[in-house]
Amino acid sequence: MATALFPQHVIARKRDGAELDRGEIEAFVKGATDGSWADYQLSALLMAIFLRGMTPRETAILTEAMMRSGTIADLSAIRAPKADKHSTGGVGDKVSLHLAPMVAACGVAVPMISGRGLGHTGGTVDKLESIPGFRVGLSISEYRAQLEKIGVALISQTAEIVPADRKLYALRDVTATVESIPLICASILSKKLAEGIDVLVLDVKFGRGAFMKEKARARELAVALTSVAKAMGKPTRAVMTAMDEPLGHSVGNALEVAESIECLKGSGPQDLMDVTFALGEQMLVLAGTAKDAVAGRVQLERSVSSGAALAKFREMVAAQGGDPRVADDPSRLPASPIRAQVPSPSSGWVQDVDALGVALAALRLGAGRARAEDGIDPAVGISGLVKVGERVLNGQPLCVVHANDQGRLAEAHAILDRTIVVGPGAVPRAALVGEIIG
């Protein structure tokens, strides 16, 4: 009925547990996009959704309405299959930087629109911007042209893509409604499906350094994401991965780019490559260029050993205005003037490297932002991080802190002293890659 499209009626229906229809959900998204709903009305419905939830049908309608609130990239002229990967966020998660060129070197186009970091999770866009001259702000036409030419583009969200999400996410952030699974699904998938992709692979993380701490809750999110994406006609799989300790040995923007370059040269850390291959295999299988995960792994390993993946990364950097020489000489990346080791207090085995603690230390150094408007220092961070289960000697470096300020260095050092635990007993390493859903 017509009165149900007034904001207060839509809010009341969801408040009372009703399933909203397409017209009501589309009115909500239109109100967020054109300003016809007041912020307090949008916030009220967000809270009602948070408390009452949404059915899979409602979530799919919300995702589609948000996707259609802006431009949907038309990549139909690109003959290659188009695949993307999205991570729910972690510490030291630089996978996209080297995975995208690896997959592109295997003949699959990778259109990837990424975000900036906020809080303890780093953003792919911030890492890319640590490469001198690298442009993330391509227009849709530039994005399409680059994909046609070289098969890979890593850019930031444009004003043309899903404007409703920018408004709703800002309100979710200040109204304690971020953790609603239907709202998370709609936010992630509306942006990813507007990229013009054919298939999607999701890295859904759980653990202390993840957005979703509890594995069961993360699995619930993975099931919801894959179900909604499939309902919208996009083959999708989710890979469950642990995030209790940082991924790789480095946390910090330029430091993570340098580590990704090592991955492209075939010498990346084992844990980082395990996650990279698990995601890349599924991208190639869904895209139809590998018959199974084993064949996908062979293709990805060949892209690295042949140098094709590194060449694709170099080509992407040059296409987006960056200095392509960083691919061969990572010392051209920003570097901090202060470097200090954190020594082991005793001999033994590394018992714990708390991902959240490491992230907070990096945040204190200036590698991340506590607020959306904060600046980023691309040079600072932590490198050489030990891994759980490693044998260390008294005084051996547990990590190296890269800083631009002695005061911040001292604060980060104090956090890391509490974060990395060394003890007398050997500790087995838990598997990082878990269930594949979808």
For residues 318 and 134, is the Cβ–Cβ distance under 8 A?
no
In the chain, the amino acid numbered 193 is L
Alpha-carbon dihedral 43, 215, 286, 154, rounded to 10 degrees = 60
Candidates 130, 187, 250, 344; catalytic one: 187
What lies within 8 Å, CB to CB, of 383 at 6+ separation is 249, 250, 252, 255, 399, 400, 402
Candidates 86, 116, 219, 402; catalytic one: 86
Note if 172 is an active site residue. yes
Neighbours of 266 (CB within 10 A): 13
Rounded-to-integer distance, Cα 355 and Cα 407, Å:
22
Candidates 191, 314, 364, 408; catalytic one: 191
Note if 213 is an active site residue. no
Note if 14 is an active site residue. no
Note if 156 is an active site residue. no
Candidates 165, 198, 203, 377; catalytic one: 165
For residues 351 and 178, is the Cβ–Cβ distance under 8 A?
no
Note if 39 is an active site residue. no
DSSP per residue over 283-305, as a string?
HHHHHTS-SSHHHHHHHHHHHHH
- Radius of gyration, CA atoms only, the chain: 22
Rounded-to-integer distance, Cα 277 and Cα 270, Å:
10
For residues 238 and 399, is the Cβ–Cβ distance under 8 A?
no
For residues 161 and 70, is the Cβ–Cβ distance under 8 A?
yes
Candidates 98, 116, 127, 172; catalytic one: 172
The two three-digit tokens of residue 82, written as one number:
């188009």
Give the catalytic positions in this structure. Answer: 86, 165, 172, 187, 191
